[in-house]
Structure 1
Amino acid sequence: MGAATFVEIVLPGKVEPEGLKVRRGVVPVAGPGQVVVEVEATGVSFAEQQMRRGRYYDQPPFPFVPGYDLVGTVLETVPGVPPELAGRRVAALVKVGGWASHVVLDALDLVEVPDGLGAAEAEALLLNGVTAWQMLHRKARVRAGQTVLVHGANGGVGSVLVQLAQAAGARVIGTATARHHEALRAAGVLPVDYRTEDVPARVRELAPDGVDAVFDHVGGRGVIDSWRLLAPGGALVCYGSAATRDDTGSKQWPVLKLLGRVWLWNSLPNGRSASFYNVWAGRAVSKSRFRARLRADLAQVFATAGRGELVARIAAELPLDSAAKALRLAESGTVAGKVVLKP
């Protein structure tokens, strides 16, 4: 295996997608407690869109290999790693490094993918699925009969949120551009056009008493409207700052400002709650607890898909060396679901 070649995509600096570099080399060797995973699918998330602009709040220094998550097959194991892992399809969150043909990972960070779930489908449900599940069930604790507002209901996370909320028995209002409304209606979502409609006014028409939860990846000043749309006892879950993607200046400031608003709102005695979701929360405190929670929640996501209550929304599947095209497509705002790269 040491003589085999591999491919990875390098982000050299603040560049347009066409500035990505292809680097070839030799497949790395696993160390103690590690495995080499041959990547079958990785994805384009909003994080990579921010990273190429230098706008992701804790990205590593340039140059580096992007790729927030991946699905692949364990090539072989080393002493100290369960030998039955060899040949198994696994999933992993990595934050960076996923846009490669092979990746070395700690065996404890792997989550096995159930038989019957394809690599691209599992990839589309990995970061998006665990994010949606944890926000819905661990943060907002959505219950049957409630009404929720999902911003970007056609997107990678948004489309999973919609389905998981419906599986929990909730009524869903979703924002999206008009081109996605027919599909959203067919899926049982009440669509709102964030470009042409007064979103707060329209949501109040659909939910006069307010909504029980809002899932907001947009940030910026619009998050104030999200807070005001909550019903008594409602929960706002923020998980991004898409509105500031093309801004200049400090990349930490949008997140810090959002955290400040969350703190202020939670200090108000009105029964509503606000939180900022980070999929990595708790990892620095206890890796074992973080891994157990990730494994349990992702198992729930995969099981929901296995029951037919959750369908992976794949916008496009492109080869790894078309990463620039994939990134352009993901940033275009014209697609529904996840853009998947297949080495």
Structure 2
Amino acid sequence: MRAIEIVLPAVGGPETLQVRVRELPRPGLGQALVRVEASGVTFAEQQMRRGRYYDMPAFPFVPGYDLVGVIEELGPQAPGAIPLAVGQRVAALTKTGGWADRVLLEAADLVPVPDGVPAAEAETLVTNGATAWRMLHRTARVRAGDTVVVHGANGGVGSVLVQLARAAGVTVIGTASARNQEAVAALGAVPVDYRGDLLARVRELAPGGVAAVFDHVGGKGVKDSWRMLAPGGTLVSYGSASTRDRAGSGMLTVLRLLARLTLWNILPNGRSAHFFNLWAGKARKADRFRAELREDLTEIFTLLGSGTVRATIDRTYPLHEAAAALRHAESGTAVGKVVIVPDAPAA
């Protein structure tokens, strides 16, 4: 079976992406061949092209952190495996490999997508939805009536965080640039411009502090995120966007952030700080990781199907325009997810 893939050959700009055609083997034991209907652009690809993602594979490789597609062929399945069928729509977290028109995956990593949920809409909630749901409900354990801060509330993860928090009865203060204030308000958050004295503005809105802060920015600003917390509050750090364009080791940036969070956890003030890693636990407890991911995505797809949560798609690009998709995602103007879809037959 032929596959068309987008390859990142080395450190470089979006223009360095290449198109590759290769033959895929037939699915073996426990595998599935999936025809990709939608993949997406995440912050991970932005770091990977700079060589700064902390556990990225060696070059060259196919980017694509997640996908939604249809099963074209199934290999023999192990006893007790989750029932799957040819023609079924499924989602998968891949970390790499999603920017292709066909992929060969482990069937155990596939999550069924409910009937009636469009592929591109479901795709916006795979990485972003799983990240947001787990940070809210498994890490911060928010409760109805809480107030939280979501940095980058107009972005891919941020816009989902806002919606899931609002669905749980949580008040959200969402930071964004001035041009995205209206979009953030439409999601149900109280918009705040991240420029200026952000800490003072948050304290005006929540004088006693907030129950949780979700910070993908990192850098020096994470100190203010810590100061926003109420006693017993939780800081969830899940990225270092402020250091994206800096030269040097991405691993060193993460280690510095981890050291700071660890130090804060030692302080006797009742607050806690966590670094969120979506893949934590898969290597040691793969079955549990897969079961929880399946549970979380099923909840999220149900909310999407009911209209409680909506998919925020900024723009879609055909596969052969992956470079333009990556460039647009990095522009800072996107509201929601940038999605990559299959090429039209003429392309």
Using the size of structure 1 for normalisation, the TM-score is 0.97
The match for 1:252 is 251
The match for 1:90 is 90
The match for 1:323 is 322
Separation (CA, whole Å) in 2 of partners of 1:335 and 1:296: 29
- Give 1:31 shift: 1.6
Residue 127 (str. 1) matches residue 166 (str. 2): no
Quick check: 2:3–2:103 contact (8 Å CA) kept in 1? Answer: no
Separation (CA, whole Å) in 2 of partners of 1:58 and 1:84: 31
The match for 1:71 is 68
Residue 51 (str. 1) matches residue 48 (str. 2): yes
1:158-192 superposed Cα distances (whole Å, 9 cap, x missing partner): 00000000011111101101111112223331111
- Give 1:79 shift: 2.0
1:107-151 superposed Cα distances (whole Å, 9 cap, x missing partner): 111000011111000100110001000000001111111110000
1:244-269 superposed Cα distances (whole Å, 9 cap, x missing partner): 10111111011111111111111111
Separation (CA, whole Å) in 2 of partners of 1:120 and 1:32: 29
The match for 1:99 is 99
SS across alignment from 1:141: coil
Q: What one-letter code is carried by the residue in structure 1 that aligns with 2:249?
A: S
The match for 1:338 is 337
Separation (CA, whole Å) in 1 of partners of 2:84 and 2:231: 51
Separation (CA, whole Å) in 2 of partners of 1:176 and 1:53: 25
Q: Pick from 12, 24, 27 the counterpart of residue 21 of structure 2.
A: 24
Separation (CA, whole Å) in 1 of partners of 2:201 and 2:25: 54
SS across alignment from 2:250: coil
Mapping of 1:293-332 within 5 angstroms? 293-332=292-331
SS across alignment from 1:85: coil
SS across alignment from 2:291: helix
Which region of structure 1 is more displaced relative to structure 2, 81-90 or 330-339?
81-90
Residue 169 (str. 1) matches residue 169 (str. 2): yes
Change (3 A) 1:287 1:328: same
Quick check: 1:173–1:191 contact (8 Å CA) kept in 2? Answer: yes
What is the root-mean-square deviation of aligned Cα atoms in Å? 1.1
Separation (CA, whole Å) in 2 of partners of 1:127 and 1:34: 21
SS across alignment from 2:311: coil
Quick check: 1:28–1:36 contact (8 Å CA) kept in 2? Answer: no
The match for 1:272 is 271
Consecutive unaligned residues of structure 2, counting only runs of 5 or more, are 343-347
The match for 1:149 is 149
Separation (CA, whole Å) in 2 of partners of 1:187 and 1:84: 35
Change (3 A) 1:76 1:206: same
Which region of structure 1 is more displaced relative to structure 2, 97-106 or 183-192?
183-192
Separation (CA, whole Å) in 1 of partners of 2:165 and 2:21: 43
- Give 1:24 shift: 1.3
Q: What one-letter code is carried by the residue in structure 1 that aligns with 2:185?
A: R
- Give 1:85 shift: 1.7
Q: What one-letter code is carried by the residue in structure 2 that aligns with 1:150?
A: V
The match for 2:179 is 179
- Give 1:194 shift: 1.4
1:252-304 superposed Cα distances (whole Å, 9 cap, x missing partner): 01111111111111111111111010110111111101000100111111112
Mapping of 1:278-289 within 5 angstroms? 278-289=277-288
The match for 1:8 is 5
Quick check: 2:31–2:76 contact (8 Å CA) kept in 1? Answer: no
Separation (CA, whole Å) in 1 of partners of 2:145 and 2:262: 28
Which region of structure 1 is more displaced relative to structure 2, 279-288 or 300-309?
300-309
Consecutive unaligned residues of structure 1, counting only runs of 5 or more, are none
Separation (CA, whole Å) in 1 of partners of 2:95 and 2:186: 34
Quick check: 2:153–2:175 contact (8 Å CA) kept in 1? Answer: yes
Separation (CA, whole Å) in 2 of partners of 1:231 and 1:251: 31
Separation (CA, whole Å) in 1 of partners of 2:184 and 2:41: 22
Separation (CA, whole Å) in 2 of partners of 1:342 and 1:188: 29
Change (3 A) 1:84 1:278: closer
Separation (CA, whole Å) in 1 of partners of 2:33 and 2:311: 26
Q: What one-letter code is carried by the residue in structure 2 that aligns with 1:54?
A: G
Separation (CA, whole Å) in 2 of partners of 1:253 and 1:12: 23
SS across alignment from 1:174: strand
Identity of counterpart residues, as a percentage? 65
Q: What one-letter code is carried by the residue in structure 2 that aligns with 1:55?
A: R
Quick check: 1:176–1:192 contact (8 Å CA) kept in 2? Answer: yes
- Give 1:84 shift: 4.5
Quick check: 2:4–2:19 contact (8 Å CA) kept in 1? Answer: yes
- Give 1:225 shift: 0.6
